[in-house]
Structure 1
């Protein structure tokens, strides 16, 4: 695992750019032995040479170029946020200080942040205070509910998370280049994907990468989107938003899905003409407001909406409610197929207009590792015709 020592990584970039330890030490205002020691440590951690020592200067090896690319991306993300607080922070901020800042921003409390990090509260407070002294202004505002990060602090915390994600990817890239496997795939899974495309894609991916850890996270769309934008999630899989909710993410459609109205097999509605007015009289289980399914459901009924609605994205809860009552459910047709095939529910002859695109949501400037690329390929291979 490559060091998270930001000073060492800056010295590494300086040597790569200037092709000289002497020029790098002068540019970074450190001694030549300090530069040499930083490079030697990084090469030990990488398990191979990062530079070729030539009479004309230092030349990066192919492995060194891999690291240069990731480290440069990390600092391109981090440095503008550091400079926004103080020019000196670019050279003085440490990983420990930034990790403490991120933890306090998320916990909104120094004690809780220290507990999450597994260190003493004074250590966290001291780390944040050092950044605060360099910035010459408060990083947090005190409220009756805790401490809240300022705009600049939020920007720095987000930038730090993305920069750390790039360094995690550097570890994976270096391992790949030396025949090893490091890292994991983190997937934000929306309801449809968990029962359709994702199992197929994971089966395909496991055939290529039988041991690489995979973490599948489910949750509300906005929470998953936040994790994606912070670099904590690699890809979101599920219903796309039109237009994308923010300009730092991009969407890739894989296939279109239609909605279905489902009920228990002996539901009395099956024996009547099913118009919007008739359907509005029954109680419903539907996804919450803000989801594409709910938008289509509401558009179908217009102003004559059902008066009895339970909001839930859980297929299991919907199935059990339908089995025990006269509730109807509105759900993805693909998502309901397994329940219908098993005879647990029945699809009613209601044609809900329109389709919704299902696909991938990615960070706009994301550069995936080889393993992450292979997982994206597996998702694309599992698209419409192969989802089963």
Structure 2
């Protein structure tokens, strides 16, 4: 989630050092940690020194009674424990020995090959030579005593165990990246970034206000707004690449490792360009009248599209001329230049309606009320900046406006 030069990502390149660090935290002793890790005392001392140099801070208070984690040490230990909590079960499934011998570079290679399904493409993605990536994966396979990829006519496909390990490694690395941000907070420094998977409504209504408030307190924290199909955003969330999603909630929740938090409800509205012949009507329109016009509406599988399709169910002649898009800009320009109609979230179109750029048609769509909210990974632990941003998102109350 952060740049390759960040301290947390420097530390994650030696997972064994992080295990040594936790052993010292738990035992308060270099001697006892050396016994636990089957290392010499100088090796333990050297591992701690390398971590502290990489992080440019001290992690322990050294006393005659032993070594005790200071505030920075406690912060790092919490994240490292979470990282290994993701990683170790997946390593154990392949081979218990992997917990002690698997390296960060091997796991990065595994992730890249699983995503690219090709060693050459994975090497390019990592900026390494192809033999280096191949050797890293081969070393994991030798320790696991089983193949991690199957060669098919479509490419190199990860086995189930390899896919599980790649996912666990992604989440572990995400936790170590979060550690950098947490450590910076202890020094009153601004670090890290906010990555939001934004569905159409949030980009028009929720996020602008939340960002404006957040910027008053965090003027320099980068904010990345990612757009795309819901399935792609959900996959990024589950991989640890996205912090949270904002948009229409799914019923039921899409998968068991995410949770949904309700914020407010929204309804749909049928809109037209300011010169459309139906904008002069004051009485309720019928679905038969609406079906005669061309439409622009969201993609199949989206909540808006399901409501739209339901609206015309049972008609002998449902709409046949349909443009599929979630772009409000495209809808606005198409509607103002043609007799197309649009079906869209009311809150998403609110600014366009208030400025007279679009007109809402008289049609009761109160039955299309749908929950809007946040989707997060279960047990996700946000940084202070992420938590603050979430508060601004969650504090926005549903506006006192009614659809026509």
TM-score (norm 1): 0.96
Distance in 2 (alpha carbons) for counterparts of 1:203 and 1:65:
33
Query: How much has 1:147 moved relative to structure 2?
Result: 0.6
Q: Structure 1's 91 and 133: CA in aligned 2 closer, same or farther, altered over 3 A? A: same
Q: Structure 1's 354 and 386: CA in aligned 2 closer, same or farther, altered over 3 A? A: closer
Greater Cα offset, 310-319 or 52-61: 52-61
| 1:36-55 paired onto structure 2 within 5 Å | 36-55=45-64
Distance in 1 (alpha carbons) for counterparts of 2:178 and 2:192:
7
Could you say which residue in structure 2 is the equivalent of 1:78?
A: 87
Q: Structure 1's 294 and 215: CA in aligned 2 closer, same or farther, altered over 3 A? A: same
Please provide the CA RMSD for this pair.
1.6
- Assess if the C-alpha contact under 8 Å between 1:237 and 1:361 holds in 2: yes
Could you say which residue in structure 1 is the equivalent of 2:375?
A: 361
Query: How much has 1:126 moved relative to structure 2?
Result: 0.9
Query: How much has 1:271 moved relative to structure 2?
Result: 5.1
Could you say which residue in structure 2 is the equivalent of 1:231?
A: 240
SS for the counterpart of 1:159 is helix
Distance in 1 (alpha carbons) for counterparts of 2:360 and 2:399:
21
Does structure 1 residue 376 correspond to structure 2 residue 376? Answer: no
Greater Cα offset, 198-207 or 258-267: 258-267
Question: Which of 354, 359, 362 lines up with 1:346 in the alignment?
Answer: 359
TM-score (norm 2): 0.92
Distance in 1 (alpha carbons) for counterparts of 2:84 and 2:397:
36
Gaps of 5+ in 2: 1-6
Query: How much has 1:385 moved relative to structure 2?
Result: 3.8
Could you say which residue in structure 1 is the equivalent of 2:310?
A: 299
Could you say which residue in structure 2 is the equivalent of 1:262?
A: 271
Query: How much has 1:319 moved relative to structure 2?
Result: 1.7
Query: How much has 1:386 moved relative to structure 2?
Result: 9.7
Query: How much has 1:43 moved relative to structure 2?
Result: 2.0
Distance in 1 (alpha carbons) for counterparts of 2:76 and 2:275:
63
Deviations 1:184-214 (A, max 9, x none): 1111111111111101100101100001111
Greater Cα offset, 214-223 or 38-47: 38-47
Deviations 1:42-78 (A, max 9, x none): 2223333212223332221122111111000000000
Distance in 2 (alpha carbons) for counterparts of 1:92 and 1:181:
35
- Assess if the C-alpha contact under 8 Å between 2:190 and 2:218 holds in 1: no
Distance in 1 (alpha carbons) for counterparts of 2:176 and 2:131:
27
Could you say which residue in structure 2 is the equivalent of 1:208?
A: 217
- Assess if the C-alpha contact under 8 Å between 1:197 and 1:383 holds in 2: no
Distance in 1 (alpha carbons) for counterparts of 2:169 and 2:334:
45
- Assess if the C-alpha contact under 8 Å between 2:275 and 2:336 holds in 1: no
Question: Which of 336, 346, 354 lines up with 1:323 in the alignment?
Answer: 336
- Assess if the C-alpha contact under 8 Å between 1:288 and 1:313 holds in 2: yes
Distance in 2 (alpha carbons) for counterparts of 1:231 and 1:49:
28
Distance in 2 (alpha carbons) for counterparts of 1:326 and 1:335:
21
Gaps of 5+ in 1: none
- Assess if the C-alpha contact under 8 Å between 1:285 and 1:318 holds in 2: yes
SS for the counterpart of 2:368 is coil
- Assess if the C-alpha contact under 8 Å between 2:279 and 2:359 holds in 1: no
Could you say which residue in structure 2 is the equivalent of 1:253?
A: 262
Greater Cα offset, 149-158 or 311-320: 311-320
Deviations 1:111-168 (A, max 9, x none): 1111111111111111111111111111111111111111111111110110001001
Does structure 1 residue 129 correspond to structure 2 residue 142? Answer: no
Greater Cα offset, 196-205 or 316-325: 316-325
Distance in 1 (alpha carbons) for counterparts of 2:78 and 2:180:
12
Could you say which residue in structure 2 is the equivalent of 1:107?
A: 116
| 1:263-282 paired onto structure 2 within 5 Å | 263-270=272-279, 274-282=285-293
Runs of 4+ in 1 over 4 A off after TM superposition: none
Query: How much has 1:288 moved relative to structure 2?
Result: 1.0
Could you say which residue in structure 2 is the equivalent of 1:157?
A: 166
Query: How much has 1:285 moved relative to structure 2?
Result: 1.0
Does structure 1 residue 284 correspond to structure 2 residue 295? Answer: yes
Deviations 1:324-344 (A, max 9, x none): 322111001111122223332
